[in-house]
Amino acid sequence: MNNKVLISVVGPTAIGKTAMGIHIANFFNTEIISADSRQFFKEMSIGTAVPSAEELAAAKHHFIQHISIEDQYSVGDFEKQAMTKINKLFQDHDILVMVGGSGLYVKSITEGLDDFPEIKPEIRQNLNELFEKEGLQKLQDKLKNLDPAYFSKADIENPHRVIRALEICLGTGKTFSSFLNQKKNTRNFNIIEIGLTADRQIIYDRINLRVDLMMQAGLLEEASQLYSKKHLNALNTVGYKELFSYLDHEIDLDFAVSEIKKNTRRFAKRQLTWFRKNQKIHWFDYKTKPEKVNQFISEEIKTLK
């Protein structure tokens, strides 16, 4: 496996990762692992910018709409399944491509996850019920009390992360942060990390345009169909929760759309902050020709031999 290479393509939302990943996969005649946690769900298409039918036909993708919003699915589940798939695909390919903007999911493959003990499922179930009844603020307060160190650096607006940290705290009697940064599983393949970026205003303009296009494509109708399931964790995400507020008559539609844009811009900012910490990423402007990126990757591969 030492001569196998995984090419990881990352960057903020709406930057063009899907298109670049397809170009790279076609150049190297290989397949794509998706590491975008929002695109895992079968019921969520428009609001998660799932690759189009044409894009999916252009290159074989894995981990796109493979689970239901009803399923309990963690980054640990993804790591196990994706590593199994990667090892299987490496039997037929020397090079694979991974595309996604979900930093922790990307990291689970490139570096491995911290090792956490098994937790009784009823603890998570109780936390999910608390979230449904009393909201995210209650969970945030609980985490701040039990693990202030993790609370100070975590994405506390992400209920998945907050619930995961709390279940470890409650299930072990230790802080979630005490399990972080331990020795990880080593990977027996090479990794080349590519990042796409642009000036912040360009990213924001692309996000605003994408939201407008999503609305034109029927995002409100998609949200309406999912409204009865709005309590599920998977749907507590940008693009859906704002429209649920509109459907609850809490805000008007124009304001809901403006909130989607604002919250997506904030999400992109958090993505960039996460990925900028990784010194191994080779950054390219989003307008860079795929041929140039492929040439760079080819040169990098030569240095590995």
Cite the annotated binding site by residue number: 11-18
d(CA 111, CA 197): 22
Phi, then psi, of 70 in degrees rounded to 5? -80, -20
Residues 6+ apart with CB under 8 A from 242: 251, 256, 257, 259, 260, 263
3-state secondary structure of 196: strand
Instruction: Return binding residues for substrate.
Output: 13-18
d(CA 153, CA 155): 7
Instruction: Return binding residues for ATP.
Output: 11-18
d(CA 163, CA 54): 37
Distances from the Cα of 64 to the Cα of 49, 56, 104, 132, 145, angstroms: 11, 9, 17, 27, 37
Residues paired with 282 in a beta bridge: 194
- Tokens for 161, please give them: 């992360």
Contact 236, 182 (CB under 8 A): no
* Cα dihedral sign, 197-275-63-215: negative
DSSP letter for 97, please: E
- Give the other-Cβ count within 10 Å of 292's Cβ: 11
3-state secondary structure of 121: helix
- Tokens for 215, please give them: 């609305």
